[in-house]
Homo-oligomer: A and B are copies of this chain.
Amino acid sequence: MTKPKKISASLEDYLEAIYLITRKNGEARSKEIMKQLRVSGPSVTEALQVLAEKKMVNYQPYEPITLAPKGKKVAEGVLYRHETLRDFFIEVLGVDRKAAEKGACRMEHVATSNIIERMVKYTDYLKNECKRCGCNKVHCFAEYLQDQKKKSRTSAEEVSDDEL
């Protein structure tokens, strides 16, 4: 076993970006990574050098970048967490797509695997009708939210949305 060293959130982002760009374009170049992550060229180069050191990417100066098996595995893990979180926020919590994406981006690096797995299971569970009662839970929550909205027309106490 080659040590399952943990990688920083930032490096995870680079791997994820390389994964997505490669899937879309066939190959990943610095320029695309810059655009996707909104960082400068030198930041990309530096990250690639570190990731190459860790045997996570195949990197030669001026050449297209590909993921090494180890890096691919990490990228897929991040993406899995991202998608799980996003879908959970949308399908269970009824959050809109944009906010769900944003939340997933922020949490994908810190969500623990047992919580992610529970989210997967919960989403699956909600997709089935509850056997005992036959109700559709997604629908129930949507109705509940509507009711709450009506009720709180009078008591206007909304939490500040400042820094989030």
Q: A-side interface residues toward B, CB under 8 Å?
A: 4, 6-7, 89, 92-95, 99-100, 102-103, 106-107, 110-119, 121-122, 125, 128, 130, 132-135, 137, 140-141, 143-145, 148, 159-164
Contacts and interface: CB of A to CB of B under 8 A. Distances in A.
Given A6-B163, A121-B148, A125-B141, A103 B111 contact: yes
Nearest to A132: B135
For the complex formed by this chain, how many copies does it contain in all?
A: 2
B161 A113 contact: yes
Nearest to A161: B113
Identify which of A6, A95, A115 gathers the most chain B CB atoms within 10 Å of its CB: A115
B140 A130 contact: yes
Contacts of A92: 122
A163 B81 CA distance: 13
Contact of A132 (B99, B118, B140, B163): B140
Contacts of A110: 106-107, 110
Contacts of A4: 162-163
